[in-house]
Structure 1
Amino acid sequence: MDFLVELWTIIQYFILGLVQGVTEPIPISSSGHIMIFRELFAIDSPGLSFEIFVNFASLLAVLTIYRRDIVRLIRNGWLYVTKKEETAKSDFRFIIYLIVATIPVGVIGVLFGDAIGQIINENAMNVVGVTLLITAAAVWMIRNLRGRKNDGDLTIKDALIVGFSQAIAVTPGISRSGATIVASMLIGMRQETALRFSFLLYIPVSLGTAILEIPAILSDPSFSTLWIPYVVAFITAFIASYFALRWFMNIMAKGNLRYFAYYCVVVGLLVIFFL
């Protein structure tokens, strides 16, 4: 009997890892879906340590896919700082824009994080249902947009707009990738630029959160008793995030974003009326 309970627990966390991995790169809100599946499985785990743990797995997948861009940015950023190499100026500015765009979510998280968390805990499923509908409307707005801005055409203003859109996505149900890609395309970025800026922007926020929450993760009683399911979820989230992001890159190139809007409408309504 105990074996069956442990097996079911591992299956549940495998599904949670799969949900995190598939939904993190695409504009349908990973945090919202994790909350939905926790509700369905009746998994009571206070705090955000599990979400942060599997989110780090998604971060590793993003780092793997964008490793060449990251190495290039670091190399050229250093070249520009040390030697004022003109050919490296565009990448140096891109780094500055990523830093600027990271600031809003940090400020809002520090100032309003607890208040937002309390509101969400009191009205969790209703919040997720409504915010999924908001995500659907936002994605629908950009379904046919084709921007012209490349990496070298961005400005501080563009970075701040995208940064504030990411800050809005601290609310479960508001997709982080969706919010940043929507904002990026509304201000005229090309699909490829919007996608790259969105996921490179994801790196410092996710990495910073993971580092700050290491003590909370290690002290989480669930981690010590459920470390095998947690590891299963981590590995699953990494693999799923990698392939989901690769798939989403093709979707962005073809411009089939409207299907994500349809999906969010259906799931949002189901959550509102049945959960």
Structure 2
Amino acid sequence: MSLLEAIIFGIVQGLSEFLPISSTAHIVITQLVFGYSFPGLAFEIFLHIASVFAVVFYFWKDVWNVTGGFLRFILKRKKEDRLMFFFGLYIIIATVITGGLGYVFSDAVGDGMKSPAIIAGALTLTGFALIFIERFHKTGSRTPENMNSLDAVIIGLGQTLAVLPGISRSGSTLVVSLLRGLDRETAVRYSFLLAIPVILGSTVLGINDVSPEMMHYIGPVNLIVSFIVTFFFSVIGIVWLIDFLKKSKLIYFAAYCFALAAFVFFYIDPATIIDI
């Protein structure tokens, strides 16, 4: 891998991780374009960790408040910490469901599921879901104070769909959160904070894929550069998405998903399968 390619992979991962357009699909497509086949999930997980750092960096106050409130309520049972305790609990519930089902289905999502045809189909499904939530569903007004355990369970189930490349994790959590009647600010905040334990959990599961061969294949300098670039562009993606959703519609992301699906279906070799 060249330094330029490492930068490109970092930009692609950083910008696509938190937008409802599937970062996994973009990484796979980028591999197809450059003709790479990374062994295992190690490189993708490595870039995901950089994205997690970006979330913690941007939402550090929320992370601090939720973590602190959760622990203080357990230890001291103070009324003022009750909201943060339950918000943290809902993050844990959704994470356990996503992690458990993701682990069960991880073996089923093999090479065949990462073919261009599957990616194109999943991107199309993501596009239709975004159109539905934007055009045919009334925006809710529920805030963290109104959330419950059933919300966490259903959102966790929705997030599990992102095991399929082309189904966006952020997109699925946003759509399901909005379907549950959460307002946009709560849905976005919950989706971002939920990314932290989910991605860290996938890192633990994929740690066996880290090998000297992978380090040699990519190169230590390229790994460091791609990590830094991913972090930087993940922050840009977070800031841009939050600002975008205040003024614009998810339907624009749906149009992008349709266009990308068409590109994958018509211009990527249907027989190509990438093992990442």
TM-score range, shorter chain: over 0.9
SS at match of 1:143: helix
Q: Contact 1:158–1:184 (CA<8 Å) still a contact in 2?
A: yes
2:131 matched residue in structure 1: 140
Alignment-derived partner of residue 222 in structure 1 = 214
Q: Which residue number corresponds to residue 172 of structure 2?
A: 179
Residue 160 (structure 2) pairs with residue 163 (structure 1): no
Contact residue 42 and residue 209 of structure 2 kept, 8 A: yes
* 1:150 counterpart = 2:128: no
| Corresponding position: 1:198 with 2:191 | yes
Gaps of 5+ in 2: 269-276
Cα deviations by residue, 1:110-141 (Å, 9 ceiling, x for unpaired): 222111124324xx111111101011011111
Contact 2:25 2:166 in 1 (8 A): yes
1:180–1:198 Cα contact (<8 Å) kept: yes
Q: Is 1:131–2:130 an aligned residue pair? A: no
Q: Deviations over 1:155-206 (max 9, x none)?
A: 1111111101110111110000000000000110010100011111111011
Structure 1 residues 142-151 or 185-194, which shifts more?
Answer: 142-151
1:22 aligns with 2:29: no
Give the Cα separation in 2 of the matches to 1:75 and 1:115. Answer: 38
> How far does residue 220 in structure 1 lie from its aligned partner after superposition?
4.6
**For the Cα contact (< 8 Å) 1:251–1:257, is it kept in 2?**
no
The size of the alignment, in residue pairs, is: 265
Distance 2:212 2:254 in 1: 36
The one-letter amino acid of 1:136's match is: G
Partner of residue 238, structure 1: 231
Residue 255 of structure 1 deviates from its aligned partner by 3.8
3-state SS of 2:181 partner: coil
Is the 8 Å Cα contact of residues 39 and 214 (structure 2) preserved in structure 1?
A: no
**TM-score normalised by length of structure 2:** 0.92
In 1: Cα distance, 2:74 partner to 2:39 partner = 44
Asked whether the 8 Å contact 1:80–1:92 carries over to 2, the reply is yes
- AA aligned to 1:126 is A
Query: How far apart, CA to CA, are the structure 2 residues paired with 1:54 and 1:119?
Result: 23
CA distance in 2, matches of 1:43, 1:220: 17
Q: Write the distance in 1 (CA, Å) between the matches of 2:88 and 2:209.
A: 30
Show the counterpart of 2:272. Answer: none
What residue number does 1:35 align with?
Answer: 28
Q: What TM-score do you get using the length of structure 1 for normalisation?
A: 0.93
Identical aligned residues as a percent: 35
- Name stretches of at least 5 consecutive residues in structure 1 with no aligned partner: 1-5
1:53, 1:23 → 2: CA distance?
15
Task: Output the CA distance in 1 between the equivalents of 2:93 and 2:261.
Answer: 32
Q: Which moved more, 1:35-44 or 1:78-87?
A: 78-87
Moved more, 69-78 or 221-230: 221-230
**Mapping of 1:54-73 within 5 angstroms?**
54-73=47-66
Aligned counterpart in structure 1 of residue 201 of structure 2, from 179, 201, 208: 208
Q: In the alignment, which of 85, 92, 99 is matched to residue 85 of structure 2?
A: 92
Specify the alignment match of 1:75 in structure 2: 68
> Is the Cα contact below 8 Å between 2:129 and 2:175 reproduced in 1?
yes
Contact 2:99–2:201 (CA<8 Å) still a contact in 1? Answer: no
Structure 1: 4+ residue segments shifted above 3 A: none
Match of residue 251 from structure 1? 244
Q: Which amino acid aligns with 2:189?
A: R
Check 1:260–1:83 CA distance in 2 against 1; reply closer, same or farther (3 A cut). Answer: same
Which residue identity does 1:80 align to in structure 2? Answer: F
| Partners of 2:14 and 2:232 within 8 A in 1 | yes
CA–CA distance in 2 between the matches of 1:235 and 1:34? 17
